[in-house]
Amino acid sequence: MAAVDSFQNGVLQCEIEPNGFDFSNCTRNCALARMGAAPPRLNSTGTTIVAVTYKDGVVMGADSRATAGNIIADKHCEKVHYITDSIYACGAGTAADLDQVTKMLSSSLRLLELNTGRKARVITALRIAKQHLFNYMGYIGAYLLIGGVDPTGPYLYDVSANGVTMARPFAAQGSGSYAAITVLEKDFKIGMTEEEASNLVQVALHAGMHGDNASGNSLNLVVITPEKTIFRGPIVPDFCNKPEPIESDYKFKTGSTTVLKKKEIKFDIVESMDMH
Amino acid sequence: MSIMSYTGGTVLAMAGDDCVCIASDLRLGEQMNTVAVDQKKVHKMSDKVYVGLCGFHSDAKTVLDKIMFRKNLYELRENRSIKPKVLATIISNLAYQHRFGSFFTEPLVAGLDPVSHKPYICAMDTIGNICTPEDFVAIGTGAEYLLGVSESFWRKGMNSEELFEATAQSMLSALERDAASGWGAVVYTITKNNVNIRTIKARMD
Amino acid sequence: MDMMGEDMRKAIPALGFYPQQEISTGTTLIAMEYDGGVVIGTDSRTSAGSFISSRTTNKITPITDNLSVLRSGSAADTQAIADIVKYYIETYSLLENEPVTVYRSSQIFRQFLYQYRDSLSASVIIAGWDSKLGGQLYAIPIGGFTTRQRSTASGSGSTYVLGYLDKAWRPNLTKDECIEIVKTAVGLAVFRDGSSGGVCRIGVINEQGTTLTLYRPDKPGFPTVTLPEAHNTYATHVKNQ
């Protein structure tokens, strides 16, 4: 028993209770990199994300393309991440980092809400994100637009991977941001209506999806008001539709493929005692 | 040369109507030199949940052990059989734990929910970004060819036999052009009532 | 993972690390003491390489009612330092039940900027007022060397206006005279420096607290420069219109 305990405390501890990053492969990977081996391609959300504040809320939107090099790794990935019921974050950068950072944000804010019995504020989300990202000196490649409504009003913040934050009336991030920001700079007005704001976000996203090869496929929108949060999407703009062939039949008849060996695992559970 | 294509190998998963297919080639190589011709890249996690691991074979083995460990620990702690989505999250967290020094392997999960029999397929990059499309996912050296051909072969609402044919034919097409994969393929068709494991005829060069 | 200083800004493909060009505030910061307080002035441009990532940045970060810090260098570093020092100063003033002096605040800044001088690229000006010494300015360039100044400028735009400031400063300036000098200096720097631009933010810190004013280039009050007319470059046979 004692042997097992010391074993657990040693090698298996990080498997049983994962805590933080594991750097055990770093030496090997750096050595391989030095030997000239190309690193694996990571999925990145080469992205257009756009957010706009209006009279009493925030509209945020994103395209839905994830790329790995020139391959479209995911045509309908979700880049508008849930943080709390009234706070959302759009992400650009390394896809895995964005997933994990937003997951961390939503869990810590949920805990905060349960502990305090109040709704979390947008500035709190911003602080947690910024301090986390600054700690990792930009190595966590997450570029976020955090937006939401709390009892003190609507807010929109821009967070960079290295920990820079800025409060903004409107913002765009990602590889398609250059196209999107031109639309925002031209048409943004203070005190827009919800409809004007969500139209502006859509037009800006269209610009990004048009002009940037790493953005496209479809778009998702979230409109956050003091009363409710409305999620809209996926919306496929006309120019993103695949031209369907007039006639296409790749239906294979059963038995087209020659099977050399066959094994079947049958399930014949009549009644399950499992607790599901 | 990238470590990801050092040993070669390809896995494809497709989702159908209450069924999923997961196929892998059988080659294990050292760059252009073939070492083994019976190396499945698909592993059984539970009755209706399978994972595919492509990329560097040593890392795939290590990661498989780690996945098994965490999956067994989960089933012991929770006293219930694992759902494919839960397994995917476990693998994603494992991969992300090694964010700064990753394993050179891309995991793929395919299976049916043990209760609702809803199909689930997903693929990840080396640091655990989950992609869950409704149609098909591919990983490994032949992924690029597979994605193209599957785009045509996949249709909505295929039954298990149609799905098997589509998966097998996609795989055969990809093996035609991927030198790092080959030497036959094996296709697992997972349905509510059974799992069919079929070794299909392919070119052996 | 032995990376310090400049190395850590480089791309590390094995880690999937491709840093964006660092967001830094290629800046103009001007500050000047007058009788009874200090006047501070900044531009508002933040750039990432050649892209202007913000044209309305506020580089004057208030720490207390009578203390502000002007930030230049890496935006991430200066924001983080300002946050942590603000936390320290608030804690001290609560524990001791009296405001922290400007000198002591500057020393808290110095402590962090000196201790982490190898990994930070941050240069700040601390401007404030306290009942002991009145209006004060402390300049802390990269490295952490702290000096009290009567008139100071920093950031990329400062090189264009140091001469002007030397000429303009004199003892016993009034508040309005001081504002005019600082505003002109910001205008001159913004005119010549490509990394400075946007709006002009002017702050006055004295016994009453801090007042911030904003001057937009499209509204009256923005400092302008009138240049001598350029020589035309038409060929001699072309009629000059």
pLDDT single digits (tens) B79-131: 999 999 999 999 999 999 999 999 999 999 999 999 999 999 999 999 999 99
Q: Please list every residue in chain A whose beta carbon sits closer than 8 Å to the beta carbon of residue C8.
A: 137
Domains of chain C listed by start with CATH number: 22-215 (3.60.20.10)
Kindly name the residue from A47, A67, A124, A165 that is annotated as catalytic. Answer: A47
Q: Residue C101 above 80 pLDDT?
A: yes
Residues of A in contact with C19 (CB under 8 A): 138, 161-162
**What is the model's pLDDT at position C231?**
76
pLDDT, averaged across chain A:
91
Cis-peptide into B133, omega within 30 deg: no
- Report d(CA B131, CA A156) in Å as an integer: 28
Confidence of residue A45 (pLDDT cuts 50, 70, 90): confident
Q: How far apart, in whole angstroms, are the C-alpha atoms of residue B153 and residue A162? A: 44
- CATH number of the domain bearing residue A158: 3.60.20.10
CATH number, residue B122: 3.60.20.10
Place of tokens 């089933």: B75
Q: Which of A18, A26, A96 has the CB atom closest to B125's CB atom?
A: A96
Q: Calculate how close chain A gets to C170, using CA atoms only, in Å.
A: 37
Domain that holds residue A177: 44-238
ipTM, two decimals, is 0.93
- Give me the pLDDT at residue A230, please: 96
Do residues B88 and B109 lie in contact, with contact meaning Cβ atoms separated by under 8 Å?
yes
Indicate whether A275 belongs to any domain.
no
pLDDT tens readout for residues A239-267: 999 888 777 778 899 999 999 999 999 98
- Yes or no, beta carbons of A263 and B47 under 8 Å apart: no
> What angle (nearest 5°) sits at the alpha carbon of residue C191, between those of residues C186 and C196?
65
Count how many domains chain A has: 1
- Residue of A141, A205, A217, A201 lying closest to A176 (CA atoms): A205
Domain enclosing residue B119, as ranges:
3-200
Test C14 with A162 for CB contact under 8 angstroms.
no
Residue A88 included in any domain: yes
**Res. C5 pLDDT band, cuts 50 70 90:** very low
- For residues B102-118, b (16+ Cβ closer than 10 Å) or e, as one string? bbbbbbbbbbbbbeeee
| pLDDT value for A8 | 65
Does A271 fall in a domain? no
Which residue reads 């999960």 in tokens? B109
Residue A264, min C-alpha distance to chain B (Å):
5
B205 within domain boundaries: no
Is A249 part of any domain?
A: no
Q: State both tokens at C121.
A: 């690229």
Contact check, Cβ <8 Å, C80/A30? no
Q: Is residue A23 domain-resident?
A: no
HEC assignment per residue over chain A: CHHHHHHHHHHHHHHHCCCCCCCCCHHHHHHHHHCCCECCCCCEECCCEEEEECCCCEEEEEECCEEECCEEEECCCCCEEEEECCEEEEEEEEHHHHHHHHHHHHHHHHHHHHHHCCCCCHHHHHHHHHHHHHHCCCCCCEEEEEEEEECCEEEEEEECCCCCEEECCEEEECCCHHHHHHHHHHHCCCCCCHHHHHHHHHHHHHHHHHHCCCCCCCEEEEEECCCCEEEEEEECCHHHCCCCCCCCCCCCCCCCCCEEEEEEEECCCCCCCCCC
Q: Which residues pair with B10 in a beta bridge?
A: B140
What is the domain count for chain B?
A: 1
For residue A185, is it within any domain? yes
Is the pLDDT at A10 greater than 70? The verdict is: no
Search chain B and give the residue with CA nearest C1. Answer: B100
Of C13, C54, C57, Cβ closest to residue A39: C13
Name the residue among C118, C61, C50 with its Cα closest to residue C89.
Answer: C61
Residue B161 lies in a domain: yes
pLDDT band for C25, please (50, 70, 90 cuts): low
* Residue B173: other Cβ atoms inside 10 A: 18
Min Cα separation C185/chain A (Å): 26
Catalytic residue flag (residue A225): no
> With bands split at pLDDT 50, 70 and 90, how would you rate the model's confidence at A18?
confident
- Looking at residues A7-27, what average pLDDT do you find? 80
Q: Is the pLDDT of residue B14 over 90?
A: yes
The pLDDT value given to residue B45:
96
Residue A263 located in a structural domain: no
Which pLDDT score, from 0 to 100, does residue B60 have? 97
Tell me whether residues C80 and A163 touch, CB distance under 8 A: yes
